[in-house]
Amino acid sequence: MSFSPLIQQLIKALRCLPGVGPKSAQRMALHLLEHDREAALELAGALREAVEKVGECERCRTLSEDPLCAVCASKSRDPSLLCVLESPVDMLAIEQTGGFGGYYFVLKGHLSPIDGVGPEDLGIDRLLDRLDVGEVKEVILATNPTVEGEATAHYIAEQVREMGIRVSRIAHGVPVGGELEFIDGGTLAHALAGRRSLI
C-alpha cells in the first residue's frame, strides 16, 4: 500500500523544489493536507500568479512584474556605473550590502557552449546596445568566480574594451572573517596577486 494517487501526485510535484527529496516532499504533502490546507491553497495561488505575471525588467532583465524593476525605475542612481551579474539573487545580494549606487544588467546564466548557451541567450547584444548610448563609464563584471563565470566575464570584457569603456572585475581574495588555513590555493593565489599597498 502507498498513498492515494492525488497525494502521490502532490509529493511528486513538490520534488520540483530545489533541495526537496522524496522524504521531505512526503513530509510537506502530509503536513499541508493534515494541518494547513489554507496555506496550501495560498501557495497554489501565489505560484500561479507569480508564474503568470512575473516577467523580466526590459532594461536589466531581472525578474519583475512591472516593465521596469525598482532599481531601473529609480532616478537617484549613478548612470555611469553598470554592474553585470549572472542572476537576480546576486543582484539582491549586492543591493543588500547597500554599497553600490549604479545600475545592473542581469545575464541570467553564463556562457556554456556544451548546454547551447551563447551570447544571444544572455542578452549580451542588449547590453552592448545599452553601452552604445554612452551614459555608462564603467562596467563592473560581477559574474561568479567559476570557470564559466570567468569565461563569460572575459568575453564581455573584450567587447566592452573595444568600445573604449572601462571594464573591471570584482576582487577575488580571502573572505572577510575567513581563516587563511582553510582557504583553497586558487583563492590564496588571487589574494596575493591582487594585494593592495597600505600607505
Q: Which residues would be at the binding site for its own copies (CB under 8 A)?
A: 1-7, 9-10, 12-14, 16-19, 24, 26-34, 36-37, 39-51, 53-54, 63-66, 69-71, 87-89, 92, 95, 108
Which distant-in-sequence residues (6+ apart) come within 8 Å of 187 by Cβ?
172, 173, 174
Which distant-in-sequence residues (6+ apart) come within 8 Å of 26 by Cβ?
3, 11
Report the C-alpha gap between 183 and 135 in whole angstroms.
39
Nearest residue (CB) to its own copies, 4 versus 197: 4
Report the C-alpha gap between 155 and 137 in whole angstroms.
18
Question: Closest separation between CB of residue 11 and its own copies, Å?
Answer: 9
Distance of CA 75 to the CA centre of its chain: 23
Report the C-alpha gap between 47 and 41 in whole angstroms.
10
Which helix (H) or strand (E) is 33 found in, with range? helix 22-35
Nearest residue (CB) to its own copies, 47 versus 188: 47
Question: Closest separation between CB of residue 190 and its own copies, Å?
Answer: 27
Question: Closest separation between CB of residue 36 and its own copies, Å?
Answer: 6
**12, 14, 20, 26: CA torsion to nearest 10:** -70
Question: Closest separation between CB of residue 197 and its own copies, Å?
Answer: 34
Nearest residue (CB) to its own copies, 31 versus 161: 31
Between 147-162 and 124-132, two packed helices, what is the crossing angle to 10 degrees?
Answer: 30
Question: Closest separation between CB of residue 155 and its own copies, Å?
Answer: 21
